[in-house]
Amino acid sequence: MKYFLDFGAHKLEGLKEFTGKLNIDTEWIVQSYEPNIFVYEVAKKNLENVKDKYKKISLEQKAIMHENGFVTFNAHKGCWKDESKTEYLEQMTTGGNVLDFNPHMDIGNRVVFDSEEVEVECVDVDEILRNICENDKEAEIYIKCDIEGAEFVVLPRIIESDYSKNIKEIHTEWHERMWFYEGMEGITQKQRERFLYTSQLKKLGIKCFDHT
Neighbour-count burial for 61-71, b at 16+ CB within 10 Å, e otherwise: bbbbbbeeeeb
Q: How confident is the model at residue 157 (pLDDT cuts 50, 70, 90)?
A: very high
Assess whether pLDDT exceeds 80 at residue 92.
Answer: no
Is residue 124's pLDDT more than 90? yes
Average pLDDT over residues 115-143: 97
Indicate the average pLDDT of the chain.
95
CA distance 94 to 92: 6
pLDDT category at 154 given cuts 50, 70, 90 is very high
Distance CA 129, CA 144 (A): 14
pLDDT at 94 over 90: no
Q: What is the pLDDT of residues 46-70, one digit of tens each?
A: 999 999 999 999 999 999 999 999 9
Q: State pTM to two decimals.
A: 0.95
**pLDDT for the residue 200:** 98
pLDDT at 53: 97
What confidence tens digit (pLDDT) does each residue in 9-51 have?
999 999 999 999 999 999 999 999 999 999 999 999 999 999 9
